[in-house]
Amino acid sequence: MVQKTRRQILDILKRRGSATLEELAKEIGLSSVTIRAHLSLLERDDLIASEEVRGKVGRPHFVYSLTEHADQHFPTAYHQIAHRFLECFKDVATPQQMDLLINKVAQRWADEKTGRLVGKGLAERVSEVARIRTEEGAIAEWERCNGSFVIHQHHCPASRIALLHPEVCQAELEYLRRLLGVSVERVSSIRGGELRCSYRVAL
């Protein structure tokens, strides 16, 4: 959770687009010295960026604005929008069209990452895929188990939509199959009430 004053700074910059140190200090009601200290921490965390602006007269000053990383500190409702799209698509699509959509999503998703797997053996690909899934929010790790590889995902970044639409889980499975280029089987799932999603990768 962002500290109260820094939260105020983020909210002001979200509303205004940008602001100077003096403008922020005046709106929040704190000294420029105090606000500058909070700005330094926000810049350190890559939540805001500063730009030096030179006027016609006087010394240059800095204008502060949000970075794209600051978006994570504002409310989102992606799962609601995705839910509406999928519900409406199901109303008009045939089962074959839904399968086509799942495979299309999986392929496009895989196409974004396959460059990182070129020239790697299977063990290296499994390790890299676990790294990719962690970057995507899944908190993944892998191990050798009973003559095969197993990828464990301890978090589901899409849980709020996957609970309503199993097609999301199917797209993830197809995505992993395309990335690894071998048979992949889901052996446990968070959606099914288990602690993690695990995938067995054939050797």
Specify the range with the lowest mean pLDDT, choosing from 52-61, 77-86, 114-123: 52-61
Q: Is 175 exposed, middle or buried (0-12, 13-18, 19+ CB in 10 A)?
A: buried
Contact yes or no for 65/49 (Cβ under 8 A): yes
Task: Assign 96 to helix, strand or coil.
Answer: helix
Helix runs in 1-156, H state only: 4-16, 21-28, 32-44, 78-92, 95-111, 122-135
In the chain, the percentage of residues whose pLDDT exceeds 70 is 98
Residue 116 has pLDDT above 70, yes or no: yes
Q: Is the dihedral of CA 49, 12, 60, 56 positive or negative?
A: positive
pLDDT band at 79 (very low <50, low <70, confident <90, very high): confident
The CATH architecture one would assign to domain 4-73 is Orthogonal Bundle (1.10)
- How confident is the model over 6-53, as pLDDT tens digits? 999 999 999 999 999 999 999 999 999 999 999 999 999 999 999 988
Q: What are phi and psi of 18, to 5 degrees?
A: -160, 165
Per-position DSSP letters for 79-94, written without gaps between them = HHHHHHHHHHHHHH--
